[in-house]
Amino acid sequence: MVLSTTPRKLYFPMHGDDGYRVEHYDLSLDYRVPANRLGGIARLSAVARGPLDRLSLDLGAFRVGGVLVDGRPVRFTHRGGKLHLAPGRLGAGPFSVEVRYSGIPRPVSSHWGGLGWEQLTDGVIVASQPIGAPSWFPCNDRPDDKAGYRISVTTASPYTVIANGELVSRRRAASATTWVYEQAEPMASYLASVQIGRYQQAELGPGMRLAFPARLALRVRHDFGRQDRMMEVFCERFGPYPFGSYTAVVVDDELEIPVEAQGMSIFGVNHVDGRRGEERLVAHELAHQWFGNSLTAAAWRDIWLHEGFAAYAEWIWSEASGGPAAGDHAARWHRRLAALPQDFVLADPGAPNLFDDRVYKRGALTLHALRRVLGEAPFFALLREWTAGHRHGSVTTEQFAALVTRRTPEPVEGLLSAWLYGSRLPPLP
């Protein structure tokens, strides 16, 4: 077993409550686009880990109209992004919470800017990673508390609503339409998402959809035209696709980076050029469905299990589609990282460095080092075993290291320790 040599602590200690876990969220939302006003009823089915007389939910600056626990009104306080409940004494086991709230959703402030529910020029994008989910619903906002979801959104009929999971109903009444989605597979709160816009939709293949502004139809269809082949390659390398469907949404605004959500990815107008100039990002976001969404890091310090794997998927797609081989990408990025300060620990980078490029590229290099040591067939067999063994679960760096050491005839503890916990970049094998 490879052991960490750095302190292990929570990156966002003010988010989440480990006294209970949520099994299901039922969100009924009413949203007025011009006013940017959201009204919601959130019903949570949860399980207390032990006796509770207090518990908390994460929720942004909404007006809370009332809270029920097991159908009874309870006292609550709401400040600093926390909704504190005093339900009396709850025994260990199942309980329910209902929260009625309304107001103008505001992104959660963070080191990376505002996160969560955000207005577009004409619509809404939700981009919550890592702590933006409370901007639009009350939740236990920790990545290891994964639950099923039902998301119902009512808004003006000219708009299309896209949320996680499968569309189970769409009802129009007067000038508004209610869209209902169900996400059966467990999902972390930061991956819950709603996209609202004037979208045209198209099928790319079985279970693969595109949503985009009509004016971008030709560019989008071309730039995502190889996604069905990409899906085939990733299923071969990583194992079966873990969800029932996949939707790529292109919004009619520029985005700094694409956005990851479960069963969905969101791109900006600047990510489509009609020449597949950003196809590596299409590959990156698709790979997150395995690494990040099905297998979700139990704690944010292990984010390389998301971003390193998705970055390596870019290199896998490059070589599968006739571009440079993964080894060429690895050599180029190793030279770049070697020229940077050697003060970075991949398996515990620190909260400010969650999205540092070294998380992505050193994570990809770690996987390439393993590929060189193990060989082609054993390496990809290892990845498939990793995704199958933890499908729809929470994962840690230690679990991945343990799997590698069990499946490798030669000792690799030193290699893993150097890549995961050493600050100096090791040489490629």
340-372 burial string, b = 16+ CB within 10 Å, else e? eeeebbbbbbebebbebebbbbbbbbbbbbbbb
> What CATH number should be reported for the domain whose range is 199-289?
3.30.2010.30
**Domain 16-107+126-194 identical in fold to domain 199-289:** no
Using pLDDT thresholds of 50, 70 and 90, give the confidence band for residue 8.
low
Dump pLDDT digits (tens) for 309-344: 999 999 999 999 999 999 999 999 999 999 999 999
Domain 296-421, second-level architecture = Orthogonal Bundle (1.10)
Average pLDDT over residues 6-24: 89
Domain ranges (residues) in the chain: 16-107+126-194, 199-289, 296-421
Closest CA to 428 of 360, 336, 317, 359: 336
CATH topology of domain 16-107+126-194: Immunoglobulin-like (2.60.40)
- State the Cα–Cα distance between residues 77 and 10, nearest whole angstrom: 24
pTM of the model: 0.96
- The answer to whether the beta carbons of residues 213 and 199 sit under 8 Å apart is yes
Dump pLDDT digits (tens) for 182-213: 999 999 999 999 999 999 999 998 899 999 99
Q: What angle do CA 379, 374, 329 make, to 5 degrees?
A: 70
Closest CA to 242 of 389, 403, 401, 366: 389
- The answer to whether the beta carbons of residues 200 and 249 sit under 8 Å apart is no
pLDDT (0 to 100) of residue 288: 98
> ω into residue 130 within 30 of 0, thus cis?
yes
